């Protein structure tokens, strides 16, 4: 409910700002996060990791599989040869007939009609011959893992960690996107301020140029002085053109990051502000809190746990595995009742156990290699911890330097304004030359430009410091 209210408020603000033609920094951030292709990929990775976690959870439950087959053969199956069941015939001298031998060792025989014997043997032969031209078989098998050496549990832990890692990397990518957007946003604000500054400077040198032209007409100055002032006017026009072009390009770069059309200029809410409310960030930073907040470091910690679980998976191959199985089967011909051409059903239940005995050290070495992988990940995490501390310290120092530079430029700005006022007044009173006024104007331009650069630098350093310390809000 609370989140819904926030979304409603943000939507209202977005509509209001759109109506006014202005875009805030937060609006640019939201547009970039919504339209960035890499953010879409990271979101899909989270979705993929969720499916893999559900897949691992399914291993706890019994699996049900169906299998069926059909085979056509060219010949039937006969269990006996007719010659094996036909009695041996011999000529009986006493009767002159062919008798069938009953006991060859005893020399016993019987005089029987041969056609009847052949009919009986053929019937036996037919009874032991089966129609196997078309064979059908199908079955449903149920398998329930009972003990797999801890592999299933380890795989479930791995997929849970992987899903959390995907979420952390998604947030990390969001911070990178926000940082890029903030840089582009403040660059537009900076160039807009410099555009106004360039216009003001052009107005200053143009006014001076007009004054020198009047003085030349009155014969109180030389044409060389006028030419030197004209050069400054031309330089001011060129500088203004460069700033305008840079401003157009920077707006396009910001629009590209936000996923907006490049030909529609984005008017920013902070354009034209004379004070950006720059504040001093505390110099003392608690690194323990930084590690807790850093998404990339948390992902590394989970990565170590993933490799610990992978070692358990490798170890499970050295342990016994037990599973219960059961199934229902159907065949045609009916193999349970004389191979009749009908479907015959049966069922089976049982258990399977697999115990590794000897693999020439292959399984144990695989487990040891997995343990080494886990140790390497721990060392990488410790190294990353040191690099993060160095990164945070550098970012903090850079912010402190940027803020002190900003404070210095504010003092220099007041002095440059005063020097320009005095120089212009003295020039009007005939107590200074145009070169002195140009020097004061150049110093005034530099002081204002330095103040803009320092102010924007503080804003960018602030967002970078918030990024590396894990306190970025979005």
Contact between 268 and 188 under an 8 Å Cβ cutoff? The reply is: yes
State the pLDDT at residue 432.
80
Which residues are within 8 A (CB) of 170 and not within 5 positions of it... i.e. 6 or more apart? 39, 42, 43, 45, 46
Give dist(CA 421, CA 418) in Å, integer: 5
Report yes or no on whether pTM surpasses 0.75. Answer: yes
Span 445-469, average pLDDT: 93
State the pLDDT at residue 97.
56
pLDDT beyond 50 at 355:
yes
Give dist(CA 449, CA 194) in Å, integer: 7
pLDDT beyond 80 at 287:
yes
State the pLDDT at residue 304.
96
Span 64-78, average pLDDT: 83
Most confident of 114-128, 257-271, 297-311: 297-311
Higher pLDDT, 219 or 46: 46
Please tell me the least confidently modeled range out of 2-11, 144-153, 403-412: 2-11
Q: Predicted confidence band at 444 (pLDDT cuts at 50, 70, 90)?
A: very high
Assign 63 to helix, strand or coil.
strand
Hey, where are the domains in the chain?
Answer: 20-61+148-319+356-468, 80-127
20-61+148-319+356-468 fold: Outer membrane efflux proteins (OEP) (1.20.1600)
Average of per-residue pLDDT values in the chain: 85
Looking at the chain, the whole-number percentage of residues with pLDDT higher than 90 is 64
Of the candidates 291, 62, 55, which has an alpha carbon nearest to the alpha carbon of residue 160?
55
Give dist(CA 434, CA 428) in Å, integer: 10
- Give backbone dihedrals phi and psi of 412, rounded to 5 degrees, phi first: -65, -30
Q: Predicted confidence band at 14 (pLDDT cuts at 50, 70, 90)?
A: very low
State the pLDDT at residue 117.
54
Span 162-190, average pLDDT: 95
pLDDT beyond 70 at 16:
no
Higher pLDDT, 13 or 309: 309
State the pLDDT at residue 235.
94
State the pLDDT at residue 8.
39
Query: pLDDT of 78-122, one tens digit each?
Result: 665 555 555 555 555 555 555 555 554 444 444 444 555 555 566
């Amino acid at each position: 409910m609370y989140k819904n209210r926030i979304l409603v408020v943000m939507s209202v603000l977005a509509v209001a700002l759109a109506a006014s033609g202005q875009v805030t920094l937060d609006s640019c951030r939201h547009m970039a996060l919504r339209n960035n292709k890499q953010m879409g990929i990271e979101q899909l990775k989270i979705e993929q990791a969720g499916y893999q976690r559900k897949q691992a959870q399914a291993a706890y439950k019994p699996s049900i599989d169906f299998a069926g087959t059909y085979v056509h053969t060219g010949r039937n199956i006969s269990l006996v040869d007719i010659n094996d069941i036909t009695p041996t015939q011999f000529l009986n001298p006493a009767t002159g007939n062919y008798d069938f031998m009953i006991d060859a060792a005893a020399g016993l025989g019987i005089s029987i009609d041969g056609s009847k014997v052949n009919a009986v043997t053929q019937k036996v032969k037919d009874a032991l011959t089966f129609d196997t031209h078309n064979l059908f078989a199908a079955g449903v098998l149920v398998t329930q893992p009972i003990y797999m050496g801890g592999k299933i549990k380890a795989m479930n832990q791995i997929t849970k960690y992987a899903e959390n890692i995907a979420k952390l990397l998604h947030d990390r990518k969001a911070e990178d996107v926000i940082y890029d957007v903030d840089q582009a946003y403040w660059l537009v604000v900076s160039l807009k301020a410099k555009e106004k500054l360039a216009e003001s400077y052009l107005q200053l040198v143009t006014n001076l140029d007009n004054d020198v032209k009047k003085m030349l007409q009155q014969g109180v100055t030389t044409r060389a002085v006028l030419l030197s002032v004209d050069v400054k006017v031309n330089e001011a026009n060129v500088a203004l053109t460069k700033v305008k072009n840079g401003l157009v390009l920077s707006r396009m770069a910001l629009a590209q990051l936000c996923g907006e059309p490049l030909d529609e200029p984005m008017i920013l809410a902070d354009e034209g502000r004379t004070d950006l409310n720059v504040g001093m960030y505390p110099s003392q930073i608690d690194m323990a809190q930084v590690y807790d907040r850093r998404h990339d470091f948390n992902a590394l910690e989970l990565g170590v746990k993933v490799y610990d679980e992978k070692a358990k998976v490798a170890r499970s191959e050295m342990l016994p595995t037990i599973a219960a199985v059961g199934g229902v089967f159907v065949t045609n011909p009916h193999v349970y009742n004389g191979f009749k051409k009908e479907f015959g059903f049966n069922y089976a239940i049982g258990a399977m156990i697999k115990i590794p005995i000897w693999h020439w050290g292959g399984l144990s070495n695989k487990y040891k290699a997995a343990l080494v992988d886990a140790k390497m990940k721990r060392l990488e995490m410790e190294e990353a911890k040191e690099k993060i501390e160095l990164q945070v310290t550098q970012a903090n120092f850079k912010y402190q330097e940027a803020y002190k530079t900003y404070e210095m430029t504010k003092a220099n700005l007041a002095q440059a304004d005063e020097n320009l006022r005095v120089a212009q007044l003295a020039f009007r009173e005939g107590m200074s030359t145009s070169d002195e006024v140009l020097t004061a104007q150049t110093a005034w331009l530099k002081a204002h430009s330095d103040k803009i650069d320092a102010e924007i630098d503080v804003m960018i350093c602030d967002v970078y410091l918030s990024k590396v310390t894990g306190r970025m809000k979005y």
